Amino acid sequence: MRKKIISVAAPNLGREELNNVIKAVKSSWISSRGEYINKFEKEFARYLGVRYATTVSSGTTGLHLALLALKIKKGNEVIIPDLTYVATANAVKYVGAQPVMVDVEPDYWCIDPTAILKAISKRTKAIIPVHLYGNVAAMTEILKIAKKYHLYVVEDAAEAHGAEYKGKKAGSFGDVGVFSFFGNKIMTTGEGGMVVTNNKKIYERVSFLKNQAQSPNNKYWHPEIGFNYRMTNLQAAVGCAQLGKINSLINKKRKIFQWYKKYLSGLKDITLNQERKNTKSVYWMTSLVLGRNIRKKIPRDALMKLLKKDGIETRPFFYPISKMPMYRKERHYPNFIAYNLSQNGLNLPSGTNLTEKDVKFVCQTLKKHLL
């Protein structure tokens, strides 16, 4: 076993984060009010090119509030990709609606617009495209479908901070966009999230609901049941520092992908992330899908075990949502592409602290097992 473990996605934290947290502690504003909260929201909105951004306690709670603000409820269906993190589906269930799981594109691993079209019913109210592993979903086609069928679009941009499509940032296309700042994300606040929108009503509704539905003009008057889904000023202090270096974090992610591409060249029957035309992927996770021949030699799970022995941490792709016990009975399709990717895909170490030497070692080890 190697002494140094190469982890899959360690956060990149430095002096700026520490200084901001110290300032926040010294100010005594450690809960959900304080200068960093306002600063983080303003700067994130500016960075994304949207009118409004409001901090939340996680990406999951952000998705929940986004669906509540759009009045998605029991009796409604929401179309989601089968290949995503479970939070996308859970948020739909939290509001009493039904997720409908459809297949993803073979090349880009994001929700397939033709599969959306087939799944639309009288009960469909919204689509949640997920910008998986830092790529951007086919937003032109998705927005066209949404317009034609009068559906809302909630972008799950939890994994795609700063990704661009036709020069516009992921999360800024739909009615609402939701980000996660979990520790393994491109930028982090420990736990945390952001809801972004250009619609003032949605912004006000999310801000109201996350704050126990307290009347903005009447303290301790709560006309509805709300939630405590607020972010703390301490978290926002970290967030401001992270946002300050977002461009270098993204450049490093893209560089890591290029290193993998270089050092894995020559390895046949594998696929790495592919970038859609007119897209700037942020390669949150450089990922590898094993082809039919190579996995006869070594299946994905066996490969992951061998890598672990060599001190290399990897992650399997997500299980299809429609495979989970609580979602098996929900409407879904035989999503062959999602199922195949789920079984044969793995996320390689992609943290922005990685060096070229680390990536070279991972690639040499992969070649040792795969060639």
Ligand X SMILES: Cc1ncc(COP(=O)(O)O)c(C=O)c1O
State the residues that interact with ligand X by CB under 6 A.
58-60, 84-85, 87-88, 130, 156, 158-159, 180, 182, 193
Give min distance, CB of 182 to ligand X, in A: 4
Alpha carbon separation from 217 to 60, 112, 200 (Å, rounded)? 28, 44, 17
Nearest-approach distance from CB 196 to ligand X, in angstroms: 14
Could you tell me if 78 and 331 are in contact, meaning their C-beta atoms sit under 8 angstroms apart? no
Alpha helices in the chain (DSSP H): 15-27, 35-48, 59-69, 86-94, 113-119, 139-149, 200-210, 233-244, 246-264, 292-297, 300-309, 336-344, 356-370
| CB nearer to ligand X: pick between 350 and 365 | 350
For the CB of residue 183, give the shortest distance to ligand X in the complex, in Å. Answer: 9
Nearest to 185 by CA among 29, 5, 46, 12: 12
Nearer CB in complex with ligand X: 84/344: 84
Say which residue the tokens 């397939």 belong to: 112
Nearer to ligand X, 263 or 284 (CB): 284
Nearest residue to 235 via CA among 271, 293, 185, 283: 185
Q: Which residue is nearest to ligand X (CB)?
A: 59
The amino acid at 88: T
3-state class of 134 per DSSP? helix
Shortest distance in whole angstroms from residue 333 CB to ligand X: 20
Q: How far is the CB of 189 from ligand X (least distance, A)?
A: 9
- By C-beta, is 41 or 159 nearer to ligand X? 159
Q: Please state, in angstroms and rounded to a whole number, the distance separating the CA atoms of residues 233 and 31.
A: 6
The count of residues in the chain is 371
Minimum separation from the CB atom of position 131 to ligand X (A): 8
- Which one, 249 or 363, has the nearer CB to ligand X? 249
Query: Looking only at Cα atoms, what is the longest distance across the chain?
Result: 68
CB nearer to ligand X: pick between 193 and 345: 193
Angle of helix 35-48 relative to helix 15-27, nearest 10 degrees, comes to: 140
| 276 HSE (CA, 13 A, CB side) | 27
Closer residue to ligand X (CB): 112 or 159: 159
What does R_g of the chain's alpha carbons equal in angstroms?
Answer: 21
Residue closer to ligand X by CB (options 105, 295) is 105
Whose Cβ is closer to ligand X: residue 183's or residue 311's?
Answer: 183
Distance CA 239, CA 37 (A): 9
Q: Which residues contact 88 (CB under 8 A, 6 or more apart)?
A: 63, 80, 81, 99, 128, 130, 156, 321
8 A C-beta contact, residue 77 and residue 98: yes
- Least spacing, CB of residue 363 vs ligand X, in Å: 25
Q: How far is the CB of 220 from ligand X (least distance, A)?
A: 29
- Smallest separation, CB 296 to ligand X (Å): 31
